[in-house]
Structure 1
Amino acid sequence: MSETLTPAQLAAKHGLSVSGARPSVPAYVRQLWDRRHFILAFSSAKLAAQYSQARLGQLWQVATPLLNAAVYFMIFGLILGAGRGMPKDVYIPFLVTGVFVFTFTQSSVMSGVRAISGNLGLVRALHFPRAALPLSFCLQQLQQLLYSMIVLFLVVVGFGSYPDLSWALILPVLALQFCFNSGLAMILARAGAHTPDLAQLMPFVMRTWMYASGVMFSIPVFLADKPQWIANVLQWNPAALYMDLMRFALIEGYGAENLPDHVWAVAGGWAVLVALGGFLFFWQAEEKYGRG
């Protein structure tokens, strides 16, 4: 009487493997690298299509954060006096830089949370490392920020901050922020894949984060009468760190005294911790995306 084999034993006997099984971390990294051209092309295509139905087209990439900055200046700068302690030629570049840099993180998070749930057809139709999706969306937002920074440079120069050696810090700041954004996008992509309602909650979370990060005001000035640890906590949050480092790089009147202690070490620590943690967290559920 022949022995009855289980499905797993039959698969092993005939050399079959689980479709979509999670690879090891090194193999997964190699798969992502092999598909780097797809990631770049996908992000560029998404960027080109983003405003394809609008009359002004790609100009909205710059106009949207600039209009946001104008609204915030009218409400917070003129009416509420959020720029106290700073001359106008510093506050306006301070505000515009904050809006542009925070928008980079905000857009990466919002696109990341829908990276899997909003692309189920692609996920189910093709075999590729799913981390390519949140990474491509973050790359799309980085490209959009680079276009926007042309206007940011004009604003900064228009208010008297001219290019000097400190502008070389822009590249490491953007590199750290991109790593942080990518890790956070992967965390939220996994969470959003299993909890679609998270996409409805995130706008409220991001708005709260924006107000707590000093986009429109100087945290040390506004919290001068509060316990020092409160200002420290707010200044050491990653969104505030990357904004302040970019302001320090670009704005002549925004000196090192406005930065928290050990700012580069903390900013780098956030980037490494969230990037690696987010990647591993996302990788652990690789075989579950698009199923169920």
Structure 2
Amino acid sequence: MSSQTFSPPLAGPGRPVESPGALAARHGLTVSGARPSLRAYTGQLWARRHFITAFATARLTAQYSQAKLGQLWQLMTPLLNAAVYYLIFGVLLGTSRDVPDFVPFLVTGVFIWTFTANSIMNGTRAVCGNLGLVRALHFPRASLPIALALQQFQQLLFSLGALTVILAVFGQFPSVSWLLAVPALLLQSVFNTGLSMVMARLAARTPDISQLMPFLLRTWMYTSGVMWSIPAVLKNHDLPQWVMLALQCNPAAVYIDLMRFALIESYTSAQLPPHVWALALGWAVLFGAGGFVYFWKAEERYGRG
């Protein structure tokens, strides 16, 4: 029996049949929902910057639309939290004895911590809480966690007016050092947005993360010096070196410390961790850029399954 050599079927005289993939590539067709390059993806986000801003503003306006006090809850929620923490930590546990200007110290910490905590919580719901939008329309999915982080930034700006009044009541008046709050908030915003994108990807695959997150955030808050002074603890307790380093480099504590340094006269540079601005910049770059790339790598999987 003679062996025969297989040859591809011909489409016309001497021409093999083109595969569907090659045919699609020749005519410029691409896979539906395929992930664009990082550069193209960034350009798509920039082109939709007006949508991102409008989406964030609409969410902020609608957040308390069903409550009788409406937008006042944006101020009342962190203020009520600060009042509870003052009662427990300032009065019952006596934390205020180790901290000058304890009320400005506490209120600043609560407002800045709330900014980070709410950004993270909104990030866990960015994709899985908007599946109808994700499945119905084609747009860069990073628009959602970025818009929700922007919403929290808008809410913080609204709340800073109340914070300024509270600080003035307790003797902390605007000064040149308050200008340092601008770069501190910008760096924190980049950090929050990046972390929000990380949580958005994780929660899109495992929605139960949004149920676990409040417990993790509460633990993080208690280790971030929101209601107590980290320098005082480090001074009065003999802690392992790695614990001291972790407390000082904690990103939430770093941004809270910078805001206290900017706004509170008695909070001096001696209470800041070493290289605090480098730490703030490093956390912002690490999570801002890293979170964006991490979210982009799963772009084609959001809303499927």
Q: Aligned residue for 2:258?
A: 245
SS in 2 for 1:19: coil
Shift of 1:12: 2.2
Map of 1:219-258 to 2, 5 A cutoff? 219-223=230-234, 224-227=236-239, 229=241, 230-258=243-271
Aligned mate of 2:47, from 15, 27, 34: 34
Identity of aligned residues (%): 61
CA distance in 2, matches of 1:51, 1:195: 28
CA distance in 2, matches of 1:16, 1:114: 33
One-letter code aligned to 2:188? Q
| Deviations 1:227-269, CA, capped at 9 Å, x for gaps | 3632331121110000010000001111111100100011110
| Deviations 1:10-39, CA, capped at 9 Å, x for gaps | 422443211121111111111111100000
Q: Aligned residue for 2:62?
A: 49
Q: Per the alignment, do residues 4 and 196 of structure 1 end up closer, same or farther by CA in structure 2, a change over 3 Å counting?
A: farther
The yes-or-no answer on 1:284 pairing with 2:294 is: no
Contact 1:232 / 1:260 at 8 angstroms: preserved in 2? no
CA distance in 1, matches of 2:88, 2:172: 24
Q: Aligned residue for 1:61?
A: 74
Larger Rg: 2
Shift of 1:6: 4.0
| Deviations 1:177-219, CA, capped at 9 Å, x for gaps | 0000010001110101000111111001100000000000001
Q: How many residues align?
A: 290
One-letter code aligned to 1:247? R
SS in 1 for 2:88: helix
Larger deviation: 48-57 or 153-162?
153-162
The yes-or-no answer on 1:212 pairing with 2:186 is: no
| Deviations 1:74-116, CA, capped at 9 Å, x for gaps | 01110011222223xx110000000000000000000001100
Shift of 1:5: 4.7
Larger deviation: 224-233 or 192-201?
224-233
CA distance in 2, matches of 1:228, 1:216: 22
CA distance in 2, matches of 1:17, 1:84: 66
Map of 1:258-273 to 2, 5 A cutoff? 258-273=271-286
Q: Aligned residue for 2:172?
A: 161
One-letter code aligned to 1:198? I
Map of 1:106-255 to 2, 5 A cutoff? 106-223=117-234, 224-227=236-239, 229=241, 230-255=243-268
CA distance in 1, matches of 2:81, 2:71: 17
CA distance in 2, matches of 1:72, 1:275: 31
Q: Aligned residue for 1:84?
A: 97
CA distance in 2, matches of 1:249, 1:232: 23
One-letter code aligned to 2:31? V
| TM-score, with length taken from structure 1 | 0.96
Unaligned segments of structure 1, at least 5 residues: none
Contact 1:220 / 1:231 at 8 angstroms: preserved in 2? no
| Deviations 1:14-69, CA, capped at 9 Å, x for gaps | 43211121111111111111100000000000000000000000000010000000
CA distance in 2, matches of 1:83, 1:92: 8
Larger deviation: 153-162 or 222-231?
222-231
